[in-house]
Amino acid sequence: MVDNSAIHEVNTDADILQLLRDALAYADPKVAAASSDAMTMTSTLADLGIESVCALEMVGYVEDKLNILFSDDEMSKINDIPGFVALIRKHHQPLQEKKHSHGS
Partner 1 sequence: MAVSATTREKTYRAYMEFFDKAERNRRWHWLDDVPWDKLDTTKNREETAICLETFCGVELYVPDYTANGFNLTREIFGHAWFQANWGYEESKHALVFREYLLRSGLRTLEQYDDYEAKIFAKKWHLPFPTRRRMTCYGALQELATYQIYANQREKYKAEGNDVLHKIFFLVSRDESAHYGFYRRVLQFFFEEDYDGTLADLAHVVYHFRMPGVGLIPEYDDRLKTEGVGITSQQFLSDAVLPMLRKLGTTRPDLVRALRQKRLEEQAQSAAGGAPSGQAA
Residues at the contact surface with partner 1, assessed by CB under 8 A: 1, 45, 51-53, 55-57, 59-60, 63, 69, 72-73, 75-77, 79
CB of residue 104 to partner 1, shortest distance in Å? 33
Q: Least separation, in Å, of the C-beta of 51 and partner 1?
A: 5
By C-beta, is 35 or 79 nearer to partner 1?
79
Residue 9 or 51: which CB sits closer to partner 1? 51
Helix (H), strand (E), coil (C) string for the chain: CCCCCCCCCCCCHHHHHHHHHHHHHHHCHHHHHHHCCCCCCCCECCCCCCCHHHHHHHHHHHHHHHCCCCCHHHHHCCCEHHHHHHHHHHHCCCHHHHHHHHHC
> Min. distance of Cβ 10 from partner 1 in angstroms?
20
